[in-house]
Structure 1
């Protein structure tokens, strides 16, 4: 059984069960009611800013040492610092923190939430909607490529500090990095609830250390503060021209992790994320970048690794340890984000069902998806062994980040036009401004494709193909089921006119076509010649909101002769649990005893054919994805000893 697409309520009499204080989802859109601003801001510092907070380890080093590195002269250093300063202000502060975080889906952010909003403000059959959803899906697919590179480059760059302490450590950098990364992925099954409590305080120490190190260098060489003037960035481009443009491909490394501000909005709320950014994270980052710049102005050789060159010799090993912990935290945030976006994609119908384990009884968002976990680890190990150094990895980093940023900008302005009713001139001016910045960074990073940028693009293309194939395949499957289904009303009339033998108990038939007779019901009646006392036709629908409250969870419609239609509504961040949802029906007078309830599921055998629909290779891919997806029994938390599966063969 597949989740049916969200649909408008039918014309039958419906009763929405009004239930208060039962199974109510947490109000993630307003966490300030439960915790103070300071506590949430510290938590946001630990989770949201891990990625962008570890960028000082490698960003400026890559500017001056990468494939398109520039000479660390006085004017070039000030020009790069000016670019970093204004990029952080325009892209992160203005675009994400101030503007895009306002485009929330009932408190939730991220590109999947934006896709749901876009579907809400555009017509179902419009070409524009299809184009925008495709752009959003490709942006989401690029996230996985970014998610594989981030842990690899972050941990490698931290451990490489051992080489600064003594060259004797160089042969051990890769083994130590791999050991840290493998250990990180091994503990995912156990969850991060206990470790997560330490994230905030540790990252506070990290950012305080970043700011302190930078401030010391700035005090010694205060002339570096001239770089706040945008004229230094302008002069940098005039002097370096094409080389200066290519330098943007490394400058963008200072922005990696900006998407996390938006994606994690639902966990902490807008105000704590904004307070943490403007009150602590942004000043610490700017101090550190300007401190690195001050050091390079007065010692050009420091450009080889300006971050660790700022650290006193006695503090190198402690700094390597702190940096390694910080990069592990940053990696954890990316891994959790991959689990979250996968879960949302499954709910929205873009990926097949997978095994999803909940690692915390209290935190609904803490999940573990084994397939994603081991796939990411395999890719990360391949990257570390293939690229060997953080500098080479940085050559592959950035194109996925900038691609996702551009997609987010386009989708966000469609939403502000559709929901906020901005005028066309204001919408176009705003989108043109931000999109021109995104595309400048993306174009500069496009030069990295031959140096390794092909990797995140390849990952994105593969994931995009899988998601679009699954979505299209489900639509074709739903159409085939609808065409072949027997109309429900004549069937019920026939049952009333010629009643079969009724046996005690309740039978629940899961169906994606609520207006038709489920195949499992027909097979059961044909083979067993009986019906249960109560027969329930159950459809699960996913709506384009993150959470559906308990009061709107269940819709029931009595069909007569002890037949009932039940529709269960979930948001794309809800956890489907059919027995739990059916318990709500007791308030409306329809009670389920699980010991006397049987769940009938159709096990479809899909056959790829040349019938018009999808290309044959995509149909075969869809069939394989369906075959390897987890069962509806596990996904919907149905007791396995109450499930009966009946087969059906469907040609695509």
Structure 2
């Protein structure tokens, strides 16, 4: 037994090491490339802070304690405990909060739902800004070698960005295996570059003491408050630690952060601070000025690779978020392509990909430099952080049973810091900060309109629907033709007859030998166990009611799951099974169910919704669509 246990232990360690390495590439790409622009923006014209000895120590201390308090204490220690069956992220958190039975009132559930949608909308804004600022800041390193590269910065950055989005349909399974090793090299290089300068000016290590941050804040007051907007750049990507928890697990992420990422970031930031004290002219680009002349071009290449990886993480995150939103009923169904037969969760959403590319290109062309983009960066990130703190506070009180005093003490501190960071970034509103808010506002309105519109349509359909029992009793065997095979009718309501079934009976007088009335339900959990996948009820006359359950992280595969129900009395022959899907067209009603502006938006969104057949994995040559008009 001892030998067996000893054999299992190294295998477990190897798996954890592999997950930790993989997490480096996917989870830490964004926060890992923050040194490219953070220190430069701390001493920019916007903050107006001069690189004096006390100011450098003060800014380094603020960066240090932002990484310790926000990333380490808040996310790594506390927030990552709030997992929804192992999954993290703002939508998973929203679903977890909504599933709590001890939430007293309906309006509070509605409030938590709105917060989750707002967090998702802000996340999408961040997904556009991250590739733009990351790639631009990496390519700008070329100007350190010679100003002659300046006219080429935007074309090169756009070329990298277009190439990145153009290969998304291949998936990340092929290049993904390189993400971890490349990012590992990146963190090792930035640590060595920082340590080299730190050895020459070790006095900057005094900034590890928080009294430098406090003294800087008391001395500079409003200027220090303005500087928090630049400090935010050091912690962008913190939300990714939580959002990607389901892919790697909490322990590998914590190991990677504490064992490599945090020390490497601090070494680089302190190295940049030491360089600025030795040579204030290095502020033009302190990160690339850390490198000796011979290493500059290789460092630009490595930085570009690191920023591409950071951008890939946000692109993949947007794909996952869009799929979750569609399954939770927060957005129209979208066409999803699976890019890997073995790696779970690797999906490609064409419409999301090309909309992202368009948005990123517009941002690069409009802002033209990473410094200008830094003005827009931060509001979306800090807004999502505040929403996360609020929702986890609810979990602490209602699920963890922390009690009000402890919860208020811990999350009051986190929310105060979140509010300070958000307020500081709001000062940049007119300088570009409005951009992510405008993007988030549009996405929020679309999601909320789709959610309320679908609820209104469901109510209208339910009011007009015929109970199954009534329909079955009204069937006249002498008038109805019953061909062999199985007909599967998709319906949103398991207790009522689907419209497409009623149309088939009314116009064609056809009822197949076996009829499956299939409803798809998505509970507030990421995954559903095989045992809980389906519920089967036999209604007689060859009619069966089936309810399929899918988690919001899963991709429905209806034919595969129906094939598993033969032992429950559901006959299934793929070549003799037809799928009947209602293709509703929505028209304006005399007495609309929604406000006029919301009605028009809902009608517009409905035109872009993918068919139910594509979304649920139905074979195209076995799908029959029957249309109907619904007034809203």
Quote the offset at 1:610 in angstroms. Answer: 5.1
- More displaced, 205-214 or 414-423? 414-423
- How far apart, CA to CA, are the structure 2 residues paired with 1:610 and 1:283? 64
Q: Deviations over 1:384-404 (max 9, x none)?
A: 111111111111100000000
RMSD in angstroms over aligned alpha carbons? 1.4
Q: Distance in 2 between matches of 1:269 and 1:552?
A: 24
1:22 aligned partner: none
Q: Does structure 1 residue 523 correspond to structure 2 residue 535?
A: no
- Whole-Å Cα distance in 2 between the matches of residues 491 and 356 of structure 1? 35
Partner of 2:294: 314
1:384 alignment counterpart:
364
**Partner Cα separation in structure 2 for residue 124 and residue 413 of structure 1:** 16
CA positional deviation for 1:497: 8.4
Q: Would you say 1:445 and 2:414 are equivalent positions?
A: no
1:558 counterpart = 2:544:
no
Deviation at 1:358, TM superposition (A): 0.8
Aligned to 2:50: 71
SS, match of residue 556 in structure 2: coil
TM-superposed deviation, 1:429: 1.5
1:148 is matched with: 128
CA displacement, residues 619-642 of structure 1 (integer Å, 9 cap, x when unaligned): 111112112111111111111221
Q: Indicate yes or no: 2:18 matched with 1:42.
A: no
**In the alignment, is residue 465 of structure 1 matched against residue 430 of structure 2?**
no
- 1:617 to 2:597 alignment: yes
What count of residue pairs does the alignment treat as equivalent? 621
What displacement does 1:500 show? Answer: 3.1
Deviations 1:3-34 (A, max 9, x none): xxxxxxxxxxxxxxxxxxxxxxxxxxxxx969
How far is 1:518 from its partner? 1.0
- Say whether the 8 Å CA contact 1:146–1:400 is kept in structure 2: yes
Q: Is 1:630 paired with 2:613?
A: no
After alignment, is 384-393 or 587-596 more displaced? 587-596
Partner of 2:149 in structure 1? 169
Separation in structure 1 between the aligned mates of residue 290 and residue 504 of structure 2, nearest angstrom:
74
SS in structure 2 at match of 1:65 = coil
Structure with larger RCO (C-alpha < 8 A, sep 6+) = 1
Which ranges of structure 2 fall in alignment gaps of 5 or more residues?
A: 1-10
Shift of 1:608: 2.3
User: Do residues 95 (structure 1) and 74 (structure 2) align?
Assistant: yes
**1:501-552 residue CA offsets vs partner (Å, 9 max, x unmatched):** 3221211111111111111111111111231111111101111111112221
Q: How does 1:279-428 map to 2 (within 5 A)?
A: 279-428=259-408
- In 1, distance between residues paired with 2:12 and 2:628? 50
Partner of 1:266: 246
Contact 2:173/2:340, CA 8 A, preserved across alignment? yes
The equivalent of 2:86 in structure 1 is 107
Q: Residues 487 and 580 of structure 2 are in contact (CA less than 8 Å); yes or no, is this contact kept in structure 1?
A: yes
Deviation at 1:613, TM superposition (A): 2.8
For residues 150-299 of structure 1, the aligned pairs below 5 Å read 150-299=130-279
Match of 2:36 in 1: 57
Distance 1:388 1:140 in 2: 27
1:84 — aligned with what? 63
Q: Using the TM superposition, give the Cα deviation of residue 124 of structure 1 relative to its aligned residue in structure 2, in angstroms.
A: 8.9
Which aligned segments of 4 or more residues in structure 1 are displaced greater than 4 angstroms? 32-35, 122-125, 496-499
Structure-1 separation of matches of 2:455 and 2:160? 43
Contact 2:514 2:571 in 1 (8 A): no
Residues 163-196 of structure 1, C-alpha deviations (whole Å, 9 max, x = no match): 0001111111111111111000000011111111
Structure 2 equivalent of residue 120 of structure 1: 99
Give per-residue Cα distances to partners, 1:198-229, cap 9 Å, x unaligned. Answer: 11111111000111111111111111010011
Moved more, 250-259 or 525-534: 525-534
- Which of the residues 549, 554, 572 maps onto 1:569? 549
The Cα shift of 1:360 comes to 0.7
